[in-house]
Chains A and B, each alone.
Chain A
Amino acid sequence: MRFVVRRGIFYLITAWAAVTINFVLPRLMPGDPVAALLAKSQGQIDSSAEDAIRLLFGLDQDASIWQQYVDYWGLLLHGNLGVSFMNFPTPVTEVIAQSLPWTVGLVGIATVISFTLGTLVGMGIGWRRGTWADGLLPATTFFSAVPYFWLGLIAIALFSVTLGWFPASGSYDRSMIPALTPEFAGSVIRYGTLPAFTIVLSSVSGWILGMRNMMVTVSSEDYVTVAQAKGLPERSVVVGYAARNAILPQMSSFTLALGFIVGGTLIMEMVFSYQGIGFLLYQAVGNHDYPLMQGCFLVITLAVLVANMAADVIYAVLDPRTRQEG
């Protein structure tokens, strides 16, 4: 219990630090982005929005920095991240809410597939090391060594341009209206297959290698030899004794990978023009949309934090040693 409380406090402090940095950074930027923006938008921004923008940016010169900080927290706690310049006057939260599910859905599923596949394959070749199965390693490593955008472009050239199996870009058929219908779901899957496939292809070797190496290490542990000496069925030696221990570090990498889903797929979304949060951030940077950038960063940071928390919990569930008070 003390462990949980301690970790909880740790995460609260980290979250606070992340939010505070998000508050401080724009205030350190030279120039007045809001003035530049107002000039650009030529009177389309009304004065109340201007105030909100100034507040978010620390350009509200009348208030003390402390007052600004308190106000900023107030806005945040009401879920107000300001208004996006680029999609004016849509609130940032709404813009993010539109793209986040796409990224989380596509990359999340791809990451889970990649992890599961890689771990199973790694378990197999780690247990039977020194057999033909080791030949799989260089092949998968090749795909992760190729730069991702190149892999993506080749996949597009091959599967959508030449073979015409999958669409080259987008996340669903634009002639459809998003709805919970089988047709729409089918379209989402058709558009998502190629990006998901390339993500799996480029990331699976990491999982294979990680699991294989841990299996090799764990296989020479005494308790695995004891399991053999006990005459346990091979399946239970491999799964219950070897893999069950080998998967521990793998699990924490996995939860961290889930945290990076939100922030780490910029290139995929660019290559496939996929309307996820990476693409959104890319556009925000291109359009000097500071509130949107700030919002994206906040979401990304919090996602990593939540993933870390999940990693802690999973580790505690899987490894009795970490549950010990200490």
Chain B
Amino acid sequence: MTATVSDRRPPAVPERTPVLEIENLSVDYGYDDDPAHVLRGVSLTLHRGEVLGLAGESGCGKSTLAYAATRLLPPPGLVTGGRVMFTDRDGSRSDVLALSDAELRAARWQDVAIVFQGAMNSLNPVFRVGRQIADGIRAHRSVGRREALDRAAELLEMVGISPDRLRDYPHQLSGGMRQRVMIAMALALEPQVLLMDEPTTALDVVMQRQIVEQIAELRERLGFAVVFITHDVSLLIEMADRIAIMYAGEIVEDAPAREIYQRPRHPYSSALLHSFPPLRGARRELSGIPGAPPNMAHLPTGCPFVPRCPHAADACRAGRPTLGPTAFAEAGRSVACTLHDGAREVPQELAQR
């Protein structure tokens, strides 16, 4: 079949070549005259071998982004604009949103694999686990049933599950095992991109930690790029290379993980980081974010964070800020906030150097 696990080199320093570029992606929910604009011009670039964290409060559109980028958006969701460019290993680029059905089917799982939020229900209850891993393999490779099952056994072992679980039905596995099975399944074809939508949310803390460590280790070995979606920012700071913060259907800040942790530039990023306990070092004061996320069906003009923002000014209500360089023109960082367009002084807490 394909190369075995061992003869793939780990990515030394990830070269910064993009593998998945989401450009201006917009999604509406509802077919009527007044749909909810749940994603509005979201752009995000994932580089080869990188772990990109996507964080934001519940309901901000993280899952919607994952579904839309893979064309799995269920009705009444509708992609209303944008492109999702995938760059293959040989450098050829294609727009996932423009592929024909057959091309899409062939590309799925092979290029981009997904682990869904709530993997409890991600396995078909009436098929054995082995069969469900194998059918994904056989849909893309011309291998026999035996071979596919052997490969499935190998994959289970890789995520720390005994291969004799192949003959189990999903209900016979624990939640953590099911989650691992999903991860094994997603890695079956050695995809270049792995989207993980809150893969550990339903699990207890110990299990969460184990799985996160496993993902990190597998990535080291296999070299795929990961989009890791969660609202647990502290988890991301530890495992992600870069973090994108999402608020009400827009990316408000995109920066290397260390930097965003130490020097947030957007008021929302700052508030979000302060609502989680730090992983290491001195305990700092925890503060929730006052107010609630806006209703996406009726967004005000201007920045959606205005009602909750301590630095809101008239400029914020006038127009919607777009993602651009920070006030300090830091390389590899961007932020969508009027504080950074030069007209105002950046408040001290958002201006740490």
Contacts and interface: CB of A to CB of B under 8 A. Distances in A.
Interface of A: 130, 220-223, 225-234, 236, 240-241, 244-245, 248, 318-321, 324
B109 A229 contact: yes
A231 B124 contact: no
Given A231-B140, A236-B135, A223 B125 contact: yes
A228 B122 CA distance: 11
Given A223-B121, A228-B72, A236-B139, 8 more contacts: A222-B118, A229-B114, A230-B136, A231-B140, A232-B139, A233-B105, A241-B124, A324-B171
Interface string B17-34: 000000000000000000
Contacts of A245: 124-126
Nearest to A226: B122
Interface in B66-97: 70, 72, 74-75
Interface in B294-310: none
Contacts of B110: 231
State which size class the interface on B falls in: 20 to 34
A245 B123 CA distance: 12
Contacts of A130: 75
25 contacts: A221-B121, A223-B123, A226-B114, A226-B122, A226-B123, A226-B185, A228-B108, A229-B72, A229-B108, A229-B114, A230-B109, A231-B105, A231-B106, A231-B110, A231-B136, A232-B136, A233-B139, A236-B135, A244-B126, A244-B127, A245-B126, A318-B126, A320-B125, A321-B125, A324-B171
Contacts of B109: 229-231
A94 B120 CA distance: 56
Contacts of A220: 74
B72 A230 contact: no
A23 B116 CA distance: 59
A223 B122 contact: yes
A101 B146 CA distance: 47
Nearest to B114: A229
Contacts of B122: 222-223, 226
Most B-side CB within 10 Å, residue of A233, A236, A244, A320: A320
Contacts of B108: 228-231
A287 to B, nearest CB: 51
A231 B139 contact: yes
B139 A320 contact: no
B237 interface: no
A123 to B, nearest CB: 16
Contacts of B123: 223, 226
Interface in B238-293: none
B72 to A, nearest CB: 6
Contact of A240 (B106, B125, B127): B127
Contacts of A223: 121-125
B107 interface: yes
Contacts of B125: 223, 245, 319-321
B46 interface: no
Contacts of A240: 124, 127, 135
A169 to B, nearest CB: 46
Among A231, A232, A236, find the residue whose CB has the most chain B CB atoms closer than 10 A. A231
Nearest to A241: B124
A228 B114 CA distance: 11
B113 interface: yes
Nearest to B67: A225
A234 B121 CA distance: 20
Nearest to A323: B169
A232 B74 contact: no
